[in-house]
Amino acid sequence: MDSIEESWRELEKACLGCEKCGLHETRTKVVFGKGSREAKIMLVGEAPGESEDREGLPFVGRAGKLLDLYMGYVDLSLENVYIANILKCRPPKNRDPEEAEKDSCIDYLRLQTKLIAPKIIVCLGRIAAMRIIKPEFKITAEHGAWFKKGDIWMTAIYHPSALLRDPPKKAEALADFKEVRKKAAELGIL
């Protein structure tokens, strides 16, 4: 049996049975991830929402539909991207994740990242960027900027749900997605 496949199975099983924080008490489903496990581009959000909790997949609600549109504009799809969240369970009423919850869950994301070995990580929103890129990340000032950690290029864009609340930022988000596509071409991964 392929050891990477086995590692994926073990990791998903661990997530599905996780009780490291109180969110397991209120979740409907664990939201592990979706997309290609061979992808060189990884999109990372903060936590599942109501639709995601119900379906067990990330970005399937209104924000997910908008994300799909942006990805389609730059020829990205679940065939060449992997999508996950920092948290695998929905915080009640879609509140921001608490630090202890992020701390409890971050190792699952680290293992997903290790198994995928992406060349690009795109943080979807401020909370993901503050955890993955740098704690003082300012999404309004730094979205679309590139940061390099080891062999991985990282950037952050506005979270799709923020774009639903603030439509004038949609043009900036599209420009950021175009830059992701450009970086992927430069790296020879698309």
pLDDT tens-digit readout, 115-127: 999 999 999 999 9
Q: How many CB atoms lie within 10 A of CB 183?
A: 18
Predicted TM-score (pTM) of this structure: 0.96
> For residues 181 and 190, what is the distance between their CA atoms, to the nearest angstrom?
8
pLDDT at 145: 98
Which domains can be identified in the chain, with CATH numbers?
Answer: 3-186 (3.40.470.10)
Block means of pLDDT (10 residues each) for the chain, 190 residues, are: 88 96 96 97 97 97 96 96 98 93 97 98 98 98 97 98 96 98 96
Ordered DSSP codes for 40-104? SEEEEES---HHHHHHTSSS-SHHHHHHHHHHHHTT--TTTEEEEES-SSPPGGGPPPPHHHHHH
